[in-house]
Amino acid sequence: MNKERIKYSDIRELLAIEKRIPKFDDGLAALTHYLQNQENGAKKYFSEAAKTFLAGRALEAHPFFELENEIQYDVPFPPTEAAKFKFIDLFAGIGGFRLAFQQLGGKCVFTSEWDRFSQKTYEANFGEIPFGDITKIEESQIPQHDILLGGFPCQPFSLAGVSKKNSLGRKHGFKDETQGTLFFDIVRILEAKRPKAFLLENVKNLVSHDKGNTFKVIKKTLEGLGYNIHTRVLDGKHFVPQHRERIFIAGFDQTHFQREEKFQFPDLPVANHVVEEILISDVPQKYTLSDKLWEYLQAYAKKHQEKGNGFGFGIAQPDNITRTLSARYHKDGSEILIPQEQSNPRRLTPRECARLQGFPENFIIPVSDTQAYRQFGNSVVMPLIHAIGQEMIKTLQYD
**154 assigned to active site:** yes
Strands 85-90 and 147-150: parallel
Q: Nearest 5 degrees, angle CA 236-CA 238-CA 242?
A: 50
Residue 22: its pLDDT value, please? 64
Residue 126: its pLDDT value, please? 97
Residue 212: its pLDDT value, please? 84
Q: How many residues does the chain have?
A: 399
Within 10 A of 271 (CB to CB), how many other CB atoms are there?
A: 15
Give the tens place of pLDDT for each residue, 209-250. Answer: 878 888 898 999 999 999 999 999 999 999 999 999 999 999
Angle formed by the axes of helices 8-17 and 26-36, nearest 10°:
160
Residue 53: its pLDDT value, please? 85
Q: Where in the chain are the domains?
A: 1-74, 83-269+365-399, 281-348
Choosing from 14, 154, 301, 364, the catalytic residue is 154
* Exposure b/e, 19-44, CB count within 10 A at least 16 = b: eebeebebbbbbbbbbbbbeeeebbe
**Residue 351 burial by CB count (10 A; 0-12/13-18/19+): exposed, middle or buried?**
middle
Residue of 361, 347, 351 lying closest to 289 (CA atoms): 347
Helices (H), 56-212: 96-103, 116-126, 159-167, 174-178, 183-193
The helix/strand/coil state of 28 is helix
What are residue 247's phi and psi, to 5 degrees? -90, 130
Residue 117: its pLDDT value, please? 94
Residue 305: its pLDDT value, please? 76
Residue of 202, 182, 192, 199 lying closest to 135 (CA atoms): 182
CB 327 within 8 A of CB 373: yes
Helices (H), the chain: 8-17, 26-36, 47-54, 96-103, 116-126, 159-167, 174-178, 183-193, 213-224, 254-257, 291-306, 329-332, 350-356, 369-378, 382-396
Residue 244: its pLDDT value, please? 96
What string of pLDDT tens digits covers the 399 residues of the chain? 455 678 889 888 877 766 555 667 788 899 899 989 988 889 999 989 988 888 777 666 665 555 456 788 999 999 998 899 999 999 999 999 999 999 999 999 999 999 999 999 999 999 999 999 999 999 999 999 999 999 987 655 444 344 434 444 443 344 455 555 788 899 999 999 999 999 999 988 888 887 888 889 899 999 999 999 999 999 999 999 999 999 999 999 999 998 889 999 999 999 999 999 999 999 999 999 999 999 999 998 888 777 767 667 899 999 999 999 999 999 988 999 999 998 999 999 999 999 999 999 999 999 999 999 999 999 999 999 999 999 999 999 987
Q: Which CATH superfamily hosts domain 83-269+365-399?
A: Vaccinia Virus protein VP39 (3.40.50.150)
Give the tens place of pLDDT for each residue, 17-52. Answer: 665 556 677 888 998 999 899 888 899 999 899 888
Note the pTM of the prediction, 2 decimals.
0.91
